[in-house]
A and B are shown apart, each in its own frame.
Chain A
Amino acid sequence: MFRAGTPMASYIKNSIASRKMEIIEQIKEKLKDKILDFFKKNEQRYYITVNPEDIVNVSKILFSELNLRFATATGIDTPKGIEILYHFSHDTTGKIFTIKVLITDKKKPEIESISKIIKGAEWIEREIWEMLGVNFKNHPDLRRLLLAEDWPEGIYPLRQVDRD
Chain B
Amino acid sequence: MKRTIIPIGPYHPLQEEPEFFRLYVEGEKVEKLDIEIGYNHRGIEKLSESKHFDQVTFLVERICGICSTSHPFAYVQAVEDLAGIEIPVRAKYIRSIIGELERIHSHLLWLGLAGHFIGYNTVWMWSWKYREPVLDILEFITGNRNHYAMFKIGGVRQDIIKEDIPKIYKMCDDLLPALDLFKGAVMDDPVIHARTKGVGILTKQEAIDYCVLGPTARASGIDIDVRRDDPYAAYPLVDWKVIVMQNGDIFDKAAVRILEMYESVKIIKGCLEGLKKEPEGDIDAKVKEIPPGEGIGRHEAPRGEVFHYVRSDGTNRPVRHKIRAPSYMNIPSNQVAATRGTISDAVLTLAAVDPCYCCTERCAVVDSKTKKKILTGEDLIRLSQEKTEKFRAKINK
A contact set with B: CB distance below 8 Å:
2-9, 11-12, 41-42, 44-45, 47, 69-72, 74, 76, 85, 87, 89, 91-96, 98, 118-124, 144-148, 157-158
Contact = CB atoms under 8 A, between A and B. Distances in A.
A6 B241 contact: yes
Contact of B324 (A4, A7, A71): A71
A147 B38 contact: yes
A151 B6 CA distance: 26
Nearest to B221: A3
A147 B294 CA distance: 27
Contacts of A72: 307, 322, 324, 328-329
Given A120-B209, A158-B46, A5 B259 contact: no
A69 B81 CA distance: 20
B124 interface: no
Q: Which 6 A-B pairs have the closest CB atoms?
A: A94-B230, A120-B211, A5-B242, A146-B38, A74-B322, A72-B324
B307 A71 contact: yes
A45 B310 CA distance: 13
B332 interface: yes
**Main SS of the interface on chain A?**
mixed
Say whether chain B's binding surface is mostly helix, strand, loop, or mixed. mixed
Interface in B108-156: none
Contacts of A119: 209-211, 332
B21 to A, nearest CB: 15
B226 A148 contact: no
B293 to A, nearest CB: 8
Given A2-B245, A2-B252, A94-B231, 4 more contacts: A5-B242, A71-B307, A74-B309, A85-B309
B290 interface: no
B209 A8 contact: no
